[in-house]
Amino acid sequence: MFVSSYDRSLEDIIRRVNHLADDVYQMLGQALNSLYQQDKEAAQWVLDHDDYVDDETNAIEEDSLQLISLQQPRQKDLRILAASLRIVRDLERIADYSCDIAEVTEILAHSPYFKPLIDIPRLGTMTLTMLKLAAQAVNNHDIALAHDVYHQDDAVDALYIHLHDELMEAMRQHREVVEQASYLSLVARYLERIADHAVNIAEMTVFVENGDRRPFRRSPFPSGHSEEHD
């Protein structure tokens, strides 16, 4: 069957977005493992990988814009390209947060943690799951899975608030843990933001399939969760 150069270019962009999502997922997982194990070499791998993500993000953006400007893509194809532009930017931000976590590892690797890490690994697992499912939703055109990612964000927010409050209390009671606790609080915040970006990616599934740009904004928010994701 004949495949046009336009179709090949579109398929290549889709493939590269999926590959970038896999790479960023690996970066986040490695960053978290480096934190848990206080492994500076693993943290450095994450930091070294960031330039590739930046370069590939820019390349995908340029190729998508070129295809839009030169080929006048069909309506759904145009939505795929527009979604790709948004997704790679969310992935690039997740990679940046992964590097932030790796930098925390390098700062905190010199001494044992003041208490076993329990809630941060829980939060990390939840966030990794959201990112993986968001990428699967886009790749499989699965609107139901995209909505599932959105609803998982409430649990991430709740755990983040609990963890933040716990770390603030530890800093109030024990001055010697202030440095560690403050950096771990930053990690928790990074993970909460990564979960928001995973929601953004999942949202693109719905946009591609039916053109609804903000499908989750009209959903109820029983837990008081903010409607805005950046």
* Lowest-confidence pick of 14-28, 113-127, 212-226: 212-226
45-81 confidence digits (pLDDT tens):
999 999 999 999 999 999 999 999 988 888 999 999 9
> What are the structure tokens assigned to 209, written together?
């399939």
For the segment 193-216, the average pLDDT, to the nearest whole number, is 92
For the segment 191-201, the average pLDDT, to the nearest whole number, is 98
Cα–Cα distance between 126 and 46 in angstroms, integer? 20
Cα–Cα distance between 189 and 224 in angstroms, integer? 18
For the segment 100-114, the average pLDDT, to the nearest whole number, is 96
**All domains in the chain, ordered by first residue:** 5-210 (1.20.58.220)
pLDDT higher than 80, residue 223: no
* Lowest-confidence pick of 74-88, 189-203, 216-230: 216-230
pLDDT higher than 50, residue 220: no
Buried b (16+ CB within 10 A) or exposed e, 167-192: beebbeeeeebeebbebbbbbbebbb
pLDDT higher than 60, residue 193: yes
Residue pair 47/102 in contact by the 8 Å Cβ criterion: yes
- The pTM assigned to this predicted structure is 0.91
Q: How many CB atoms lie within 10 A of CB 47?
A: 18
Cα–Cα distance between 47 and 27 in angstroms, integer? 9
Helices (H) and strands (E) in the chain, counts: 6, 0
**Locate tokens 């993970």: which residue?**
191
Cα–Cα distance between 144 and 128 in angstroms, integer? 19
pLDDT of residue 24: 98
pLDDT-derived band at 215, boundaries 50, 70, 90: confident
pLDDT of residue 2: 53
Which residues lie closer than 8 Å to 162 by C-beta, 6 or more apart?
A: 119
pLDDT higher than 70, residue 3: no
**Amino acid at position 227, single letter:** E
- Residue 112 DSSP symbol: -
pLDDT-derived band at 225, boundaries 50, 70, 90: very low
Residue pair 106/43 in contact by the 8 Å Cβ criterion: yes
For the segment 71-99, the average pLDDT, to the nearest whole number, is 95
Report the share of the chain in percent with pLDDT over 90. Answer: 86
For the segment 153-174, the average pLDDT, to the nearest whole number, is 97
7-48 confidence digits (pLDDT tens):
899 999 999 999 999 999 999 999 999 999 999 999 999 999
pLDDT higher than 60, residue 211: yes
List, as one string, the DSSP characters of 195-219.
Answer: HHHHHHHHHHHHHHHH--S-TTTTS
> What are the structure tokens assigned to 99, written together?
């590097």
